[in-house]
Every structure is written in C-alpha cells, then in structure tokens.
Amino acid sequence: MSEHHGYSEKDVQREVTELEGRSATAARIFDLRRIIGGLFVVYGVIVTAAGISPSDASLDKSEGININLWTGLGMLLLGVFFLVWLKLRPTPVPVAPEEEKTSE
C-alpha cells in the first residue's frame, strides 16, 4: 500500500518535510521579538532625532525636560533589548511527533 492516489510514500514524506521547513522558517521570520524590536529601533531613531535639537516651545511644554530625546533613547534601548534577546535565544525548530518518539 505504498501508492495512494498517485503519490508514493516518499513523495508525501518529502512534501511533509518541505512544509515543516517552511513552517520553521516562517516561525523564525515572524517572531514577535523581531517585529517589536525592529519597530522600537526605527521609532526610537526618529524620536531621538527629533529630540536632538528641541525647540524652546517644546521644552516649555515639557517643563524643561527634553522628552523626545529621553523617550527616543528609551525606545532604542528597548528595541535593542528585544533584538539581542532574539539573537541569544532564537526560536527553537519544532520537532515532528515521529522524531520525538524515536528520540526517546
């Protein structure tokens, strides 16, 4: 019973392996740490750039504190934290149920 509907077991296994590989790649690409870290870094750069040369009016509104500069730096630090976390602890590759049974 190796042939079923025109597909051999080898073809089905190859297709399953390919889909598992794509799934693992998609999990790594769309890891929330990458998305959140990237957005915080981009917005942090923008807000920090706006805070480098503040206007007198914006300093008066914030009672002398350069809020754009401090918020931008905080966003940059948070974004870098997420990206470093992703680098140090990457998403593990999911193990197929068949492989779990054979490894025990």
Interacting residues of 16 by C-beta distance below 8 A, sequence separation 6+ = 96
Q: Give residue-wise pLDDT tens across range 46-56.
A: 999 999 998 88
How confident is the prediction for the chain on average, in pLDDT? Answer: 81
Q: Is 72 exposed, middle or buried (0-12, 13-18, 19+ CB in 10 A)?
A: buried
Q: Which residue has the higher pLDDT, 103 or 72?
A: 72
Residue 78 has what pLDDT? 97
Beta bridge partners of 8: 3
Task: Name the 3-class secondary structure at 53.
Answer: coil
Q: Are 80 and 4 in contact (CB under 8 A)?
A: no
Supply the pTM of this predicted model. Answer: 0.63
Q: Give residue-wise pLDDT tens across range 67-94.
A: 999 999 999 999 999 999 999 988 776 6
